[in-house]
Homo-oligomer: A and B are copies of this chain.
C-alpha cells in the first residue's frame, strides 16, 4: 500500500500549506500559523475519531504527523514566494489528499459497521472539516459553506466507492478509483467554476 502512504503524506503536506497561507493572510505569528496548519491537516480526522470514539486520536499516538506538519509549516513560511508559484502542484496534492482522506473516513465507518450513508458522511467530514475548523479559528464563515464544492466531490467519490464494492473488485483498485473520482470532480469543479445551484437568485451575496 506504499502508494496510499505517499498520497497520505502529500495530502497532509498540501493541507498544512493551505493552512499556512490562510494564517499568514491574517498575520498570525509562528505559533498561530503552526496551529492553523495542524488543524487544517488533522482537524477532519480528529473530529471523526472523537465522534466515533476512536480515542486517543491517532496523531497523539505517533509523532509522524506532527513532524510532517512542522516541517511543511517551516518550509512554507521560509520559502513562501517559491511555494506560492507552485499553486498548481499544491492543488493537485490537495485534491489527491481530499480523495484519500474521504476514503479513509469511509473505511473507518465500515470498520465500525455503520450505514453506508453515514460512512460517506464520515468520509466527507474527514476530508472537509479540517478546513471548517481552520476557518472558524481564523474567524470567518467556513468557505465550503458558501463557495467551494469540496463536499460534493467527497460525497460522489464515496458513493462510487460503495457502488464499486458490489462489483467484486479488489479493495485496492476500488480505493484508487474512488480517490480519482474525488480528484477529478474537484479539478473539474475549480476549472469550470462549478458551484451548487444558487438559491438566492437576483440577490447579492453579503458574506
- The yes or no answer to A17 lying at the interface (CB within 8 A) is no
Interface 0/1 of A18-39, CB less than 8 Å to B: 0000011011111110011000
- The yes or no answer to A147 lying at the interface (CB within 8 A) is yes
Docked pose: A132 CA to B28 CA in angstroms: 14
Q: Restricting to A156-172, which residues have a CB under 8 Å from any CB of B?
A: none
- Are B51 and A53 within 8 A (Cβ)? no
Docked pose: A31 CA to B154 CA in angstroms: 12
Question: Which secondary structure dominates where chain A touches chain B?
Answer: loop
Q: In this complex, which of A31, A112, A132, A136 has the most chain B Cβ atoms within 10 angstroms of its Cβ?
A: A31
Q: How many copies does the complex hold?
A: 3
What residues on B are CB-neighbors of A52 within 8 Å? 55-56, 60
Interface residues of A (CB under 8 A from B): 23-24, 26-32, 35-36, 46, 50-53, 55-57, 60-63, 66, 77, 112, 114-115, 117-118, 121-122, 132, 136-142, 144-147, 149, 151-152, 195-200, 203, 205-207
> Which of B115, B117, B136, B205 is in CB contact (< 8 Å) with A136?
B136
Q: In this complex, which of A24, A139, A147 has the most chain B Cβ atoms within 10 angstroms of its Cβ?
A: A139
What residues on B are CB-neighbors of A137 within 8 Å? 132, 136, 141-142, 145
What residues on B are CB-neighbors of A198 within 8 Å? 29
Asked whether A32 and B63 contact (CB < 8 A) given A56-B53, A136-B137, the answer is no
Asked whether A145 and B31 contact (CB < 8 A) given A63-B117, A199-B77, the answer is yes
- Are A29 and B196 within 8 A (Cβ)? yes
